[in-house]
Structure 1
Amino acid sequence: MGGVSTPTPVGAAQRCNVDWRTLTGEGSNEPRSEDHVTASTAQGRDPASLRRHNLRALLRHLHLRGPTSRVGLGEVTGLTRSAIADLVGELTERGLVLESGSSQQQPGRTGRGRPPLIVSPRDERAYALAIAVDVDTVRIGRVGLGGNVLEEMTTQHEHSPGDPTPGLEQLARLVRELVTTTEASPIAVGVAVPGLVRDEDGVVTRAPNLGWHELALGQRLRESADITAPVVVGNEARLAALAEHRRGAGRDRTDLVYVSAGVGVGAGIVAHDQLLTGSTGYAGEIGHMITSPGGRACHCGARGCWETEIGADALLRRSGVVEPADRQAELERLFDRAERGDAEALDAFRQLCAPVAIGLANLINIFDPGLVLLGGLLRPLLRHAEGELRHSLERVRGLPELPVELGSARLGEQGHLLGAAEAAVSSFLASFE
Structure 2
Amino acid sequence: MGMTEVPSTARLTEEERAIVEVVADFVDNEVLPVVRQLEHSDTYPEELIEQMKRLGVFGLLVPAEYGGVDVSTACFALVAQELARGWMSLAGAMGGHSVVAYLIRTFGTPEQKATYLSAMATGALRATMALTEPGGGSDLKAMRTKAVLADGTWTVNGSKTWITNSRRAGLIALLTRTEPEQGKGFSILLVEKGAGYEVSRDLPKLGYKGVESCEVVFDQVQVPESAVLGGVAGSGFPQMMRGLEIGRIQVASRALGVAQAALNDATRYAQEREAFGRPIWEHQSIGNYLADGATKLRAARLLTLDAAARVDAGERADMEAGMAKLFASEVCMEVTLNAIRIHGGHGYSTEFDVERYFRDAPLMIVGEGTNEIQRNVIARQYIARNPIDGGGR
Whose helix proportion is higher, 1 or 2? 2
Quick check: which has more Rg, 1 or 2? 1
TM-score, with normalisation over the residues of structure 2? 0.28
TM-score by length of 1: 0.26
Q: Say which structure is richer in strand.
A: 1
